Amino acid sequence: WSKIKEKKGANDSRKGALYSKAHRVSVVPQSYTMPFVTLQQDIVIAVRTGGSVDPEQNTTLAAVMKRCRSQGVPNDNIESALKKIAGAKDRGDQHLTYEVMAPGSIGLIIECLSDNINRTMHAVRNLVTGHGARIAPVKFLFSRKGSVKVALDKQDGFETKLDSLIEHMLDSGAEDFKETAANDTEVEMEFLCQPQDLAQVTAAASGSGLCRDLLASELVYSPVEEGEAIDEDTTQKLAELVQELEDHDDVLRVWTTHSI
């Protein structure tokens, strides 16, 4: 117990954060984010992308719900998040975007969902200026893309299956692809496309029979160019700023020109 209690405590805390954030009414699109994306963020993005709170009519939402359940999120939390998102839409909550220049000439795009624009604006501005950053136009540093992420099992014939999937996705409208994660048993791939092609590229991935899971389908802000290398201190400060922003109830997603 003395050897595992610290690790167990961290895992329990992580699960608790996931479950509690499922009850937030805020939260929309990832290129680079902090590694732990909340349940409600993913569900809101899926609803906005797919246009429905019904997973039978929204394949992206169905994929998100499947992943949440695989992580042990109770059904009650998922249903609560869906109801609150539907309620936010009925209230007329607004989707807001803020552009920020952080120290080191690092661009950030902050996407929010809010029922009080002034509250959200002041909160974002205070967080940003508190970290030495400022509101400034930076969208020219990003391009809007559709992103489809899938997982494949590493089984016999994996290389052949991967080649077939890549060819199929490129034929369906994908413009680029990359491996985003891998271990001994699976590989995760991301396919990028033009925003107007996201639905057909998503459908191609879902109907291909070549991947195990559809992990995500969303509109992203992708850096036009990979930013110059930044030092460890700047990376740490950037990570702290992004973390504080994403912890705020009104913030959906934070995009940066540098990976963290």
The pLDDT tens digits for 132-151 are: 999 999 999 999 999 999 99
Confidence of residue 172 (pLDDT cuts 50, 70, 90): very high
Q: How far apart are CA 63 and CA 55, in angstroms?
A: 8
Residue 14 pLDDT grade (very low, low, confident, very high; cuts 50, 70, 90) = very low
Residue among 145, 77, 154 nearest 64 (CA) = 77
Q: Is the predicted pLDDT of residue 31 greater than 60, yes or no?
A: no
Residue of 39, 88, 80, 77 lying closest to 61 (CA atoms): 39
Q: pLDDT higher for 221 or 21?
A: 221
If you average pLDDT over every residue of the chain, what do you get?
Answer: 80
Q: Which domains does the chain have, with CATH numbers?
A: 1-30+91-259 (3.30.70.980)
Angle at 181 between CA 222 and CA 67, to 5 degrees: 90
Q: Which residues, 6 or more positions from 123, have their beta carbon under 8 angstroms from its beta carbon?
A: 248, 250
pLDDT bracket for residue 87 (50, 70, 90)? low
pTM as predicted? 0.69
pLDDT at 43 over 80: no
Range 68-86 average pLDDT:
77
Q: Which helix (H) or strand (E) holds 187?
A: strand 186-193
| 219-257 residue pLDDT tens | 889 999 877 788 899 999 999 999 999 889 888 889 999
Please report how many Cα atoms fall inside a 13 Å half-sphere around the Cα of residue 202, on the Cβ side: 25
Element (H, E) at 66: helix 59-70
